[in-house]
Amino acid sequence: MIPLRWAPGAVADLARLRAFLGDKSTAAAARAAQRIREAAELLRAQPELGQAVEGEVFRDLLAPFGGGAFVLRYRIDEDAVFVVRVWHGREERR
């Protein structure tokens, strides 16, 4: 299996999502974190599982959660899967 690495932006995204959900429900925040980890682990065995982002070197993997899904944006390097960002599909992105 290929190693999994997290970019600083993705780590910051995880902290932001956990804080946002944790304000509402610590149990929901824990479930969300677990769901994101499980999705990321799938990439170690199947790096091309996510959908290619048109015109980019990135891929997006959807991790269903509640009424939506988290999006893990990643790229496949020679020696690792590199998660660069994470967000919820209902978030307004700038």
Question: Could you state, in order of their start, the residue ranges of all structural domains in the chain?
Answer: 4-88
Per-residue pLDDT averaged across 77-92, rounded? Answer: 90
Question: What are the pLDDT digits (tens) for 6-42?
Answer: 999 999 999 999 998 888 889 999 999 999 999 999 9
5 pLDDT band (50/70/90 cuts)? very high
Angstrom distance (rounded) from CA 39 to CA 21: 18
pLDDT for 67: 84
Q: In the chain, which ranges are E strands?
A: 4-6, 51-52, 59-65, 68-76, 81-88
pLDDT for 37: 94
pTM: 0.91
Q: What does pLDDT average to over the chain?
A: 92
Q: What is the CATH number of domain 4-88?
A: 3.30.2310.20
